[in-house]
């Protein structure tokens, strides 16, 4: 039991260290001018999609509920956080103060909406919950589109708070590491075990005294908070933001990232987010056939990762990369 616990802790530390090392390498290449404009422009979206995927994995992977409204929470955080940032910009506060404050404000606002949506929605399960969260995401999008304070259909002008990848990458790296650390710690904690017990058998979890509604709401609110923070970061990388861009297509895209990376797998979500963010840009050379090739590659990868032969291959590789595993297990 102790060996298993130590192994899990070591795996978690390696995951955080690998993510940190990736951002350090990319930052070094960026600040020394060794990255192309195309790669530079993908750094912030990659960080945003990692946060979105890992946070959605809390709901889909850890809790086992299907949510299709994650982009809606992102848009709530994005617009509210960017409005705060625009207001702070008039006070001449530096980015180092303005961005963290606006991210916190956007995350809290998204968490409030997550609570409001979650209270009625989480009484449902499965397909019904998916439909309700999808509808809530679309309702949020339409409300934001019709508000004067958010610029309406023309969108919100964020040119005054726009920042390039060189300025935003450190904040993106911190947000990613924080999201990954929270997910890993929650997963290994007693609360994480309670959430997984609810996922595996709700009736049994209730019978031992677990407050199912409270745990489900907590997961929903935490996921919405990080989605809101990611939205604010993304908003600072754009000169104009429109609510129409954050529709059900984006929610499904994030869900695909989670499924491809593996339900409940943090390293899988990170790798999948990077691949599926970079892949469409890498396929720009094929112009009109870009999305067709992207879809085919996605289907092939999904088939390969769910193939029994491939699963045995990865299990065998894991055994070889962990020397003495069988001996330790025998002890």
pLDDT digits (tens, 9 = 90+) for 238-263: 999 999 999 888 998 899 889 888 88
In angstroms, the CA 223 to CA 72 distance is 12
**Beta carbons of 77 and 233 less than 8 angstroms apart:** no
**Percentages (nearest 5) of helix, strand, coil residues in the chain:** 80, 0, 15
**Is residue 317 very low, low, confident or very high in pLDDT (cuts 50, 70, 90)?**
low
- Give the bridge partners for 241, in sequence order: 156
Judge whether residue 107 has pLDDT over 80.
Answer: yes
pLDDT tens digits, 133-186: 999 999 999 999 999 999 888 899 999 999 989 999 999 999 999 999 999 999
pLDDT tens digits, 183-234: 999 988 889 899 999 888 888 888 888 888 889 899 999 999 999 999 999 9
What are the b/e assignments for 82-108, b being 16+ CB within 10 Å? bbbbbebeeeeeebeebbebbbbbbbb
DSSP code, position 317: H
In angstroms, the CA 57 to CA 64 distance is 9
- Look-up of token digits 């007693």: 190
Q: Could you give the number of structural domains in the chain?
A: 1
User: φ, ψ for residue 132 (rounded to 5)?
Assistant: -65, -45
**Is residue 83 very low, low, confident or very high in pLDDT (cuts 50, 70, 90)?**
very high
Where in the sequence is the domain holding 248, given as residue range(s)?
Answer: 2-330
Report the predicted TM-score, pTM, of the whole model to 2 decimal places. Answer: 0.87
Helix segments in 32-94, DSSP class H: 37-57, 70-89
pLDDT at 4: 65
Encoded tokens for 175: 């947000």
pLDDT at 322: 52
pLDDT at 325: 47
CATH number at residue 121: 1.10.3470
């Amino acid at each position: 039991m102790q060996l298993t616990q130590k192994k899990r802790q070591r795996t978690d530390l390696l995951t955080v260290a690998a993510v940190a090392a990736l951002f350090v390498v990319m930052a070094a290449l960026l600040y020394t001018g060794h990255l192309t404009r195309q790669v530079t422009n993908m750094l912030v979206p990659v960080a945003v999609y990692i946060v979105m995927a890992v946070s959605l994995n809390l709901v889909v992977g850890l809790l086992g509920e299907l949510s299709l409204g994650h982009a809606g929470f992102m848009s709530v955080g994005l617009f509210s956080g960017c409005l705060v940032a625009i207001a702070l910009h008039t006070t001449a506060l530096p980015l180092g103060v303005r961005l963290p404050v606006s991210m916190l404000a956007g995350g809290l606002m998204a968490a409030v909406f997550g609570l409001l949506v979650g209270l009625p929605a989480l009484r449902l399960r499965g397909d019904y919950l998916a439909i309700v969260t999808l509808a809530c995401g679309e309702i949020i999008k339409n409300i934001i589109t019709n508000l004067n304070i958010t610029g309406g259909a023309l969108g919100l002008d964020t040119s005054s708070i726009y920042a390039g990848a060189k300025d935003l990458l450190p904040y993106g790296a911190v947000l990613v590491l924080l999201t990954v650390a929270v997910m890993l710690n929650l997963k290994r904690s007693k609360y994480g075990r309670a959430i997984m017990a609810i996922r595996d058998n709700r009736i049994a979890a209730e019978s031992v005294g677990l407050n199912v509604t409270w745990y489900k709401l907590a997961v929903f609110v935490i996921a919405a908070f990080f989605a809101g923070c990611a939205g604010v970061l993304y908003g600072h990388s754009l000169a104009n933001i429109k609510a129409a861009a954050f529709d059900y297509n984006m929610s499904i895209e994030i869900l695909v990232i989670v499924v491809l990376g593996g339900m409940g797998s943090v390293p899988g979500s990170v790798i999948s987010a990077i691949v599926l963010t970079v892949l469409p840009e890498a396929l720009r050379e094929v112009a009109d056939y870009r999305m067709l090739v992207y879809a085919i590659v996605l289907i092939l990868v999904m088939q390969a990762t769910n193939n029994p032969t491939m699963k045995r291959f990865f299990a065998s590789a894991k055994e070889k990369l962990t020397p003495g595993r069988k001996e330790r297990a025998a002890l």
